[in-house]
Amino acid sequence: MNKKIQLLDLGQKDYKETWEYQEQLFKDIVDLKIRNRREELDLETPNYFLFVEHPHVYTLGKSGDLSNLLLSEKQLEVKGATFYKINRGGDITYHGPGQIVGYPILDLENFFTDIHKYLRFLEEVIIRVLADYHIIGIRSEGETGVWIGVGTPFARKICAMGVRASRWVTMHGFALNVNSDLGYFDNIIPCGIRGKAVSTLNVELGVEKVNEEEVKEKILKHFNELFESEFVSFKADTV
């Protein structure tokens, strides 16, 4: 089993371009697995992890409700935001500057074949990162992602998650609000859940800005601990 993960930080990148790049990496892994099976080979399958920050964009998962987007096409234009229906699970979410988005594109047969466990591990990575900042992040029953203050009148989501998997290969991932502009969440019913707020790491800490590179380092550390993986640098020829 190959537990090395090729790491690439794309910086700020258009959502559609990144989605297409994810799809290509995903397809390459799936195609290799099909070839291994057909030709009775045992070629090693790669794993990838992309960090990215998107310009303002709203995305709707395949099971999502379009009515959870509260803006018209013209209003989206005024806000400088785009909108895409995509092939992950979950409902609607927002991506934008100040948010750390992670896309693990893994062959889970290199780790474990359990999608439920995979999602719980992604949540646990973020829970441990928050704990490093002395913030108690928890799960909310029946709602994927990481929350603060569940069980109180002030429950708020700090990290959204949505994944796609086929032949045990994953794509899409998580979006952790670090220094995000919370005003953009007012234009949607986040994840289709009414009556619960959204927060960011800098708001929870009461600071103007959190060092995002430091947060990324913590994410990778806890990811490695849980998945027993090793990150190696990866440079793409074209993205």
Structural domains present in the chain: 4-233 (3.30.930.10)
The pLDDT assigned to 146 comes to 97
Q: What percent of the chain lies above the pLDDT cut of 90?
A: 75
The pLDDT assigned to 239 comes to 60
The answer to whether 91 is annotated as binding is yes
93 pLDDT higher than 90 = no
The pLDDT assigned to 238 comes to 57
The answer to whether 173 is annotated as binding is yes
Return d(Cα 196, Cα 206) in angstroms, integer.
20
The answer to whether 160 is annotated as binding is yes
The pLDDT assigned to 195 comes to 61
Q: Where are the beta strands (DSSP E) in 13-153?
A: 48-53, 57-60, 82-85, 92-95, 99-105, 138-140, 143-148
Residue with the larger pLDDT of the pair 206 and 92 = 206
The answer to whether 88 is annotated as binding is yes
- Of 23-32, 60-69, 199-208, least confident by mean pLDDT is 60-69
**pLDDT tens for residues 144-202?**
899 999 989 899 999 999 999 999 999 999 999 999 999 998 888 765 555 678 999 99
Average pLDDT score over the chain? 93
Cα separation values, 231 from 7, 39, 61, 111, 150, Å: 6, 29, 29, 14, 33
98 pLDDT higher than 90 = yes
Return d(Cα 164, Cα 31) in angstroms, integer.
16
Amino acid at the residue 219: I
Residue owning tokens 């969440």: 185
159 is catalytic: no
Catalytic pick among 191, 215, 219, 220: 191
**pLDDT tens for residues 81-92?**
999 998 887 788
28 pLDDT higher than 90 = yes
